[in-house]
Amino acid sequence: MKITKEQILSHGLKLDEYRKIKNFLGREANLLELGIFSAMWNEHCSYKSSKIHLKKLPTKNKIVIQGPGENAGVIDIGDDDAIVFKIESHNHPSFIEPYQGAATGVGGILRDVFTMGARPIALMNSIHFGSPDSKKTQNLLNGVVSGIGGYGNSVGIPTVGGETKFNSTYNENILVNAMAIGHAKKNKIFYSKAKGINKPVVYVGSKTGRDGIHGATMASAEFDENSEDKKPTVQVGDPFTEKLLLEACLELMKKNSIISIQDMGAAGLTSSSIEMASKGKLGIELDLDKVPCREKNMTPYEMMLSESQERMLIILEDKKENEAKKIFDKWDLDFVVIGKTTDTNKLVLNFNNKKVADIPIAALADEAPQYDRKWKKFKVKKNNFKIKDLKKIKTEEALFKILSSPDHSNKSWITDQYDQVVMCDTIQKSGGDAAVVRVHKKEKAISISVDSSANYCVANPRTGGKQIICENWRNLISVGSKPLAITNCLNFGNPEKPEVMGEFVECIEGMKEACEFLDYPVVSGNVSFYNETNSKSIFPTPVIGGIGIFDNLNRIIDMKTKKTGNIIIVVGKTFGHLTRSSFLKEVYSINDGPPPEINLTNEKNNGLSVLNLIKNNLVLSCHDVSSGGILVALAEMSITSMLGLKITRPKKFSNFNEYLFAEDQGRYLLEIEKNNLEKIEKMLKKDNTFFEVVAEVQNDIFEVDKILSIKIEELYRCNNQWFKKFNAVN
């Protein structure tokens, strides 16, 4: 049967790509083979538009055990311990079916981590929604949050933090990025590379159904008005089975039976089998009659492209099948030998005693298309306004507007739906600069932060790329940890558009520069393209998940001010940069002009100076200055502790708001004891690090001399009212 043009296009392939497929096969493809190529050649699996640019990112240093290319990245944290982590997107599925889309996003990223031999210890997320005054936004938010909590809580992994943001750019294309972190022994890491000939290929976990077929292809296409008709492409998760699968896999990993192991994630049995064979330069032959199915009369096409959840593919050592099967029987999971490795370098599929597919592995993997797409250099826009021409507003009113806005308001309504303390190793949960989780049964802990930079990136992708790396780095330092490495999830529009590709390329360049300068390697990640609906793209939204390490559990700090009479200093200079600020956005509805510049030398110097002060037990609390500027950061510290602050009136600025709300980068607020000021001053001068005193801790009044005076209870109410109103109105 000849493949039609309509069939080719409906599978997300271009006509010239199908011509390449015919050349690889030396014949027409059948429908099953077309589906397999479609799955392996889409953006989600092949990274065909991004691969050449991703190679620019630094991925190695002395602590990196495994960088990009495996299920998750692995870093060495000493004492034979390793941290395994990754972040991935589940954007399109979550828009179509918010609960299951978000839930299976969590399930998928957990499998990426425990596939490597790590026990998951924490989850994080970055979720972005459209206009907050929309009923649709409320429905999507409720569904996504319920899905994240429902899956994570049920499988017993704490969700310790993340971020939630709102902007109309996400009205028809929300972002749901999930991060998982696991702990393993560095000499017990498992990989997906197949080895050996005639080794048994084993299917384990749940049965295969018809849910999620063409899920990866759907994730590599833009939306239109019919997007919600794609619900059958969304997977359905079962966290209780995931828990069984996790425990069974970790138990088997103790037996020295596994040659390679791969999660059946995007593109299911197709991608898992091909990736294992490709990495091992081997072939693989599968008998599809043996695939456990939960629905009758499933075709080879459906089996190979199903993205049913909670499944793994394992290649075992010879004569280990019985031992392994006993483990999976114990956990009440399917365990079936469905194939073998071969020396043919081909994917061969058999069904009903017939060969139904015969494809060179290289054609599906190494020879998949890679595009150096045209891209347009970004032109930074100048300000269309002057700060001095804006209508004057009282500082108190501006502060209230920012603290009560959707992006800055207290998110406990969301985070309280997540179990943040299950496993009993959570030291610091959501609400601060970074979460802190103890390495189980050890006097060791890691910090975790997830951050995004859409507002800065849309104004200057290169600067925005640098900024989000630096902000993530600052957040980890702010709790007293040394930043180690990152994972990224890069959410962009249609890469076939030169302006979108330009945003991506320049964002990568900015990230590269910052990562190299800070020695902050990228060890894993994900690219999510085609985040647009009816040709309208989202803002470029890079999301960064960072990991830090504490050398002493006694040096973990938070942003909560501790005692009246202590003083607050700011490390880093304030120049008064207001364009792209929360002040202009929330007060004047202006979102224009360039973002603040990033001075990497200052970022590194200021951060290391702060970390040195913390290590010398001179810092009682710390908070980085980011969105909203100094005044908002100080207010957040006060609200957290319910202690007031007497803030020093700025002397160098005629426009006080320009100082108080500026978003200049590289700054930290530190609470210190007065009697340590002189010592700290000497240390910072030695490091050539600028600082100044900005406030003193007092009882219950938050004030700036002759500018504002507010009771802490008022600030608290202001910061906690938005979600109450949001749920009441909608």
Task: Print the SS3 string covering 273-286.
Answer: HHHHHHHCCCEEEE
In this structure, the chain runs to a length of 730
- Under the phi-then-psi rule, with left for phi > 0, alpha for psi from -120 to 50, and beta for the rest, what region is 315? beta
From 44, 214, 408, 623, the catalytic residue:
44
Measuring CA to CA, which residue among 553, 567, 695 is closest to residue 635? 695
Task: Print the SS3 string covering 101-166.
Answer: HHHHHHHHHHHHHHCCCCEEEEEEEEEEECCCCCHHHHHHHHHHHHHHHHHHHHHCCCEEEEEEEE
Please list, in sequence order, all residues whose beta carbon lies within 8 angstroms of the beta carbon of residue 87, skipping any fewer than 6 positions away: 109, 124, 126, 177, 178, 179, 180, 450, 487, 488, 489, 524, 525, 526, 543, 545
Measuring CA to CA, which residue among 208, 347, 232 is closest to residue 280? 347
Contact criterion met (CB below 8 Å) for 191 and 112: no
Please list, in sequence order, all residues whose beta carbon lies within 8 angstroms of the beta carbon of residue 412, skipping any fewer than 6 positions away: 430, 431, 720
Using DSSP, state whether 519 is helix, strand or coil.
Answer: coil
Beta strand spans in 520-604 (E): 522-528, 532-533, 536-537, 541-550, 567-571
Beta strand spans in 626-681 (E): 644-647, 667-672
Tokens of 557: 């700090």
Q: How far is Cα 270 from Cα 43, in angstroms, rounded to an integer?
A: 15
Q: How far is Cα 524 from Cα 161, in angstroms, rounded to an integer?
A: 20
Q: How far is Cα 359 from Cα 348, in angstroms, rounded to an integer?
A: 7
Q: How far is Cα 356 from Cα 379, in angstroms, rounded to an integer?
A: 52
Q: How far is Cα 169 from Cα 63, in angstroms, rounded to an integer?
A: 38
Q: In angstroms, what CA-CA distances link 106 with 276, 375, 437?
A: 23, 33, 19
Task: Print the SS3 string covering 208-268.
Answer: ECCCCCCHHHHHCCCECCCHHHHHHHCCCCCHHHHHHHHHHHHHHCCCCCEEEEEECCCCH
Contact criterion met (CB below 8 Å) for 662 and 630: yes
Compute how many other C-beta atoms are within 10 angstroms of the C-beta atom of residue 182.
25
Q: Is residue 623 annotated as a catalytic residue, yes or no?
A: no
Please list, in sequence order, all residues whose beta carbon lies within 8 angstroms of the beta carbon of residue 641, skipping any fewer than 6 positions away: 560, 561, 562, 621
From 11, 53, 90, 92, the catalytic residue:
90
Please state whether beta strands 119-129 and 159-166 pair in parallel, antiparallel, or not at all (unpaired): parallel
Q: How far is Cα 638 from Cα 698, in angstroms, rounded to an integer?
A: 10
Contact criterion met (CB below 8 Å) for 109 and 179: yes
Q: In angstroms, what CA-CA distances link 446 with 310, 430, 506, 674?
A: 28, 14, 31, 30
End-to-end CA distance of the chain: 53
Under DSSP, the state recorded for 391 is P
Using DSSP, state whether 482 is helix, strand or coil.
Answer: strand
Question: Which residues are 127's β-sheet partners?
Answer: 164, 176
Q: Is residue 90 annotated as a catalytic residue, yes or no?
A: yes
Alpha helices (runs of H) in 540-579, residue ranges in sequence order: none
Contact criterion met (CB below 8 Å) for 362 and 282: no
Amino acid at 497: K
Measuring CA to CA, which residue among 14, 70, 17 is closest to residue 369? 17
Using DSSP, state whether 569 is helix, strand or coil.
Answer: strand
Tokens of 671: 């609470």
Active-site residues, by number, are: 44, 90
